[in-house]
Structure 1
Amino acid sequence: MKMSKTKSWIFLIIAVIAEVIATTSLKISLGEISGYFIMGLFITVSYYFMGLCIRIIPVGVAYSIWEALGLCLIAIIGIFVFKEKLNLYQTIGIFLAIIGIILINIGQKE
Structure 2
Amino acid sequence: MIAEKKGLLKAWFFLICAIVFEVLGTSFLKMKNVILGYFFMAMFIAFSYFFLSKAITKIQIGIAYAIWELLGVILILLVSFIVFKENLTLTQILGIVCSIAGIIMINIGEIKE
TM value normalised by structure 2: 0.86
- Alpha-carbon offset, residue 31 of structure 1: 5.5
In structure 1, give the amino acid aligned to 2:101. Answer: I
Q: Give the one of 9, 17, 20 matched to 2:23.
A: 20
How much has 1:88 moved relative to structure 2?
A: 1.4
Residue ranges of structure 1 left out of the alignment (5+ in a row): none
Letter in 2 for 1:4: G
User: Per-residue deviation at 1:99?
Assistant: 2.0
CA distance in 2, matches of 1:101, 1:30: 35
For residue 98 of structure 1, what is the aligned residue in structure 2? 100
Q: Secondary structure at the match of 1:82?
A: coil
The alpha carbon displacement at 1:46 in A equals 0.3
| C-alpha RMSD of matched pairs (Å) | 1.7
Alignment match of 1:88 (pick from 90, 93, 99)? 90
AA aligned to 2:52 is M
How far apart, CA to CA, are the structure 2 residues paired with 1:62 and 1:55?
A: 10
What SS is found at the alignment partner of 1:57? coil
Give the corresponding residue for 1:56: 58
For 1:61 and 1:83, locate their aligned partners in 2 and report how far apart those are by CA, in whole Å.
31
Q: In the aligned structure 2, how far is the partner of 1:16 from the partner of 1:109?
A: 24
In 1: Cα distance, 2:109 partner to 2:17 partner: 22
* Structure of larger gyration radius: 2
Q: Pick from 68, 71, 96 the counterpart of residue 70 of structure 2.
A: 68
TM-score by length of 1: 0.89
Segment drifting more, 94-103 vs 13-22 = 94-103
Superposed CA offset, 1:10-36 (max 9, x none):
000000000000000111x13510000
Separation in structure 2 between the aligned mates of residue 90 and residue 108 of structure 1, nearest angstrom: 27
